[in-house]
């Protein structure tokens, strides 16, 4: 669904990314860097830093989704990767595919995420999460059976966290795609 991984074209970004040395609250920049595995700002961070209130809220929300939810990281990264595929957010795919692999995903599952439909390769909990992700991303509405299935597999807290992960990463992908990051 998304083209094969290609090198990122920074010159196509539709706003001028923040650069080192540009004004910004030091604690905000350091907080964003602390959330990154290598401690370096990536493309989306530099665009977000064009609005300090947005960057502050974004870093707080996405930091919690990435690091504080009880829903297994592997499941959250599965959702993030599927959202990237469905929304053709190549930058998001490039960030989350390695994270998904590190959290326990496989190359075979990554390839299956790129296909239409939900591959039987995925187990029941993964299929339920992918069903949620596909419905929410493609049509916004999620049927009651899907939510009931998630609650039976994960309980209410992790169902809420799964829905929030889908919603948050749809926000991320829409931001990335609109600004050609």
Question: Which ranges of the chain have pLDDT less than 70?
Answer: 1-11
- Provide the pLDDT for residue 11: 66
Domains in the chain (CATH in brackets) are 19-67 (no CATH), 73-178 (1.20.1290.10)
The tokens of 4 are what? 């094969």
Q: Which residue has the tokens 């540009």?
A: 22
Q: What is the pTM of this model?
A: 0.92
Count of Cβ atoms closer than 10 Å to residue 18 Cβ: 20
Q: What does the alpha-carbon distance between residue 35 and residue 66 come to, in Å, rounded to a whole number?
A: 9
In the prediction, which pLDDT does 37 show?
85
Dist CA 57 CA 53 (whole Å): 6
pLDDT digits 0-9 by tens, 118-132: 999 999 999 999 999
pLDDT at res. 158: 98
Over residues 161-171, the pLDDT tens digits come to: 999 999 999 99
pLDDT score recorded for residue 117: 87
């Amino acid at each position: 669904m998304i083209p094969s991984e290609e090198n990122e074209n920074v010159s196509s970004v539709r706003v001028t990314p923040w650069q080192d040395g540009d004004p910004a609250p030091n604690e905000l920049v350091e907080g964003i860097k602390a959330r990154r595995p290598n401690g370096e700002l990536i493309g989306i961070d530099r665009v977000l830093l064009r609005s300090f209130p947005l960057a502050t809220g974004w870093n707080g929300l996405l930091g919690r989704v990435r690091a504080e939810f009880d829903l297994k990281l592997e499941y959250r990264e599965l959702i993030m990767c599927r959202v990237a595929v469905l929304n053709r957010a190549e930058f998001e795919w490039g960030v989350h595919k390695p994270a998904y692999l590190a959290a326990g995903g496989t190359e075979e599952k990554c390839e299956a995420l790129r296909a239409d439909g939900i591959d039987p390769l995925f187990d029941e909990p993964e299929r339920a999460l992918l069903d949620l992700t596909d419905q929410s991303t493609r049509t916004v509405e999620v049927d009651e059976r899907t939510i009931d299935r998630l609650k039976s597999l994960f309980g209410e807290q992790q169902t809420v966290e799964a829905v929030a992960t889908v919603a948050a990463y749809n926000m991320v992908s829409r931001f990335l795609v609109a600004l050609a990051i």
